[in-house]
Structure 1
């Protein structure tokens, strides 16, 4: 019976590993097929992702309709979330859920009230730690939208930092081949995904609507606080004023960004060393000493030359 149980467990884990292998192959095959179909039919996969984001935003707006009723109260109770701060966060996060400042402020109060009633319900039901939940849940409900939007801002700016060097190299190569900057941007962004594409697609759209190039550049600066990205846009503005070749500007910026990234990796590696030392000193070393001491004590008490055998 024991052998049958062991064989069943082994067969189960073998099937799980086999399923994971085939599932991974399926995901890779699906990605290759979508890429091939997009290349043949000239269908942009980014547009499908954008439609999914729009559907999610519409669904979120329907769910949070009641938040509008608390917008005025939320703008008065604006701890750590004044209107200009919220507006800046929404702009720099790309506002994926299409929130307005008023709805965001109302959403805080709405979640605060809902969390308060959930805390009261937990007290009535008698859940463990319910006396703390009635205080902690409303505080969490108030701060969760703030924390999430700030996390989205940081995530988006980090994504821009990662994609920027490759984007600059590609644009520089296109411009050096004789393509105009506007045409190079339109062609290059088709091969990128995420915030880089969103920002420069909006930039091109503003240029098409008649916005001056300098003003479009200024809007890019307002929507992003990434130092590397801001350095690029300021260099483009300066190059436009002074007549510096654009291809050279992109090439220099790409090299500088890669150098900065290398320095950041070295800095992170240097910061990791003391953390590893702390873990080794306070966790691994004491556990190893305890294990060795425990084995010695067990050998002294239960071994062939046990102290107990002497009595």
Structure 2
């Protein structure tokens, strides 16, 4: 009877592994087929719109309740002062169009959802439910803060990555005799991400009659990337002193590439001490212990062991 049970367990795990393998192959082939169909046609565009609409509707429901808790959220503003939240939203691009008040209310809504989820898990008797009552509200409160700050950081990094190529292209267009506004409008169409968003907004402000200096300062306020700020400050200085803009773009592109090379060298130099620490505190002690263990085993069980020498 025991043999039948063991054999059944072994057969179960074998079939389970085979099923998982075939399912993973099916998912992979399905994804490849969908990618091929999307490349040939635009069939999946509707599905993307539907998924986006569903996400937007869910977010709209949350923000509807967030407005009701906006006042309470502004009073409970641990690690999220209003001026900090405003800065995070500007630098993250504010993809969902959040206001400071709605963001503060969203924290409280997620805190309450976390508490309700923890309480229900405690009533049901799920594992670690006693900790969920405490940690779920904390996670719900800090989740919007963490997401917005990470989004701002990623956006500024993406801005930094595209700047050198963008500056080279603008510089070439300006040297060909194209005006700055026209060059920005034409070149920005071939870029994606935050760089396109920022300069499209800059062009829109210029079209609305905003002074160029004010539009530049708005760019500075919305972004804290050092390289991008250096570019805008150079453009401001060139606007006041009459320095050719094409020269400014070219010099900035060269400086950014040189600065990036120096950053890579600095990271490589910082990696060497870390490798030395790992070697000193991990590899070397393990190697010494292995050698000492082999010597000890040889001393006890070897041909010239201590027991044989003592005739024990």
Q: Shorter chain as normaliser: what TM range?
A: 0.7 to 0.9
The equivalent residue for 2:107 is: 108
Number of residue pairs matched? 293
CA RMSD of aligned residues (A): 3.7
Report SS of the residue matched to 2:90.
helix
Over 3 Å counting, the alpha-carbon distance change for 1:281 and 1:133 in structure 2 is farther
Q: Is 1:220 the equivalent of 2:246?
A: no
The equivalent residue for 1:41 is: none
Moved more, 258-267 or 101-110: 258-267
The equivalent residue for 2:238 is: 239
Q: CA deviation at 1:168?
A: 0.6
Q: Is 1:82 the equivalent of 2:61?
A: no
Over 3 Å counting, the alpha-carbon distance change for 1:53 and 1:156 in structure 2 is farther
Q: Which runs of 5+ in 1 are unaligned?
A: 39-44
Distance 2:106 2:202 in 1: 31
Q: Which runs of 5+ in 2 are unaligned?
A: 1-12
Q: CA deviation at 1:63?
A: 4.0
Q: Is 1:207 the equivalent of 2:206?
A: yes
Structure showing greater Rg: 2
**8 Å CA contact retained: 1:112, 1:140:** yes
CA offsets per residue over residues 31-58 of structure 1, 9 Å max, x none?
9x58xx99xxxxxx9xxx9998787545
Distance 1:294 1:128 in 2: 42
Q: Where in structure 2 are the equivalents of 1:1-311 lying within 5 Å?
A: 56-57=55-56, 59-297=58-296
CA offsets per residue over residues 69-124 of structure 1, 9 Å max, x none?
21110011111111121111101100112211111101111111121222223333
Over 3 Å counting, the alpha-carbon distance change for 1:186 and 1:220 in structure 2 is same
**8 Å CA contact retained: 1:57, 1:96:** no
Distance 1:162 1:300 in 2: 61
Q: CA deviation at 1:275?
A: 1.9
Relative to the length of structure 1, the TM-score reads 0.79
CA offsets per residue over residues 253-299 of structure 1, 9 Å max, x none?
11111121112212222222222222222223333333444445555
Over 3 Å counting, the alpha-carbon distance change for 1:262 and 1:23 in structure 2 is farther
Over 3 Å counting, the alpha-carbon distance change for 1:28 and 1:112 in structure 2 is closer
Over 3 Å counting, the alpha-carbon distance change for 1:195 and 1:57 in structure 2 is farther
Relative to the length of structure 2, the TM-score reads 0.79
Distance 1:52 1:126 in 2: 34
